[in-house]
Amino acid sequence: MSTDSAGGVRRVAIVTGGSRGIGRETVRRLAADGHAIVVNYAGNAGEARAAVDEAIAAGGQAIAVQADVADEKAVAALFDTAERTYGGVDVVVHAAGRMYLAPIAEVDLAELDALHRTNIRGTFVVAQQAARRTRDGGAILLFSTSVIGTALPRYAPYTATKGAVEAITMILAREMRGRNITVNTVAPGPTATALFLDGKDQETVDRLAAQPPLERLGTTADIAEVAAFLTSPAGHWVNGQVVRANGGLV
């Protein structure tokens, strides 16, 4: 069991995709709340190490563990490490994902298969371990996208995978009955991450930033605050929901 400097019990969180973007900011935010965190990453060990350092500086404990989220053996080992290091798992934030954009008529089916492997299979694999191994009273948080509502052209491959995530959320929340575990999804709008900005010119970025009534892009901190609330005791009455954190988009 992980303890803080005062001898209290720390909650333990696994954050997939924790080395960059929204996942990394969520690591820092949960660390500021005193969590012990397992930072999962796909391949960039240097960025994962930096995320661990930031978490420790923010007041948490942290280690980094590499795992392909679509590989069930690797994800089981990820949970094994969390349990062995910190005594159990209370919070699972599944922020890992990939994006591929193309008009439906031009979709590369090999790219679509790769997208499905990470975003759908990966979500099932992580959710399966989370359902089996999150301690009673804990929280599971997945990620979707507000493009499900805005229906932007070229986003069909990506958005279709996130529609699957929303369906998983609703059903898993009901399957957790009797264990006091919440299951929710955050669906960000346009957020200033490398994943979002990659391949977009400034005109496109400015146009998307102007769409919300709040007239700006979201920040990783905006989304991490929502994640922290939904996985905290204060947010525990919110369950089986998709929270569209998007500044007022449809």
CA atoms of 80 and 237, how far apart (whole Å): 29
Q: In Å, what is the CA distance from 174 to each residue of 13, 120, 141, 170, 233?
A: 22, 19, 14, 7, 19
**What's the DSSP call for residue 106?**
G
CA atoms of 242 and 248, how far apart (whole Å): 14
Tokens 């929340």 belong to 173
Reference 13, options 177, 176, 23; nearest CA is 23
Q: For this structure, is 41 an active site residue?
A: no
Chain centre to alpha carbon of residue 83 = 20
Helix H or strand E encompassing 136: strand 134-143
Catalytic positions, written as ranges = 158
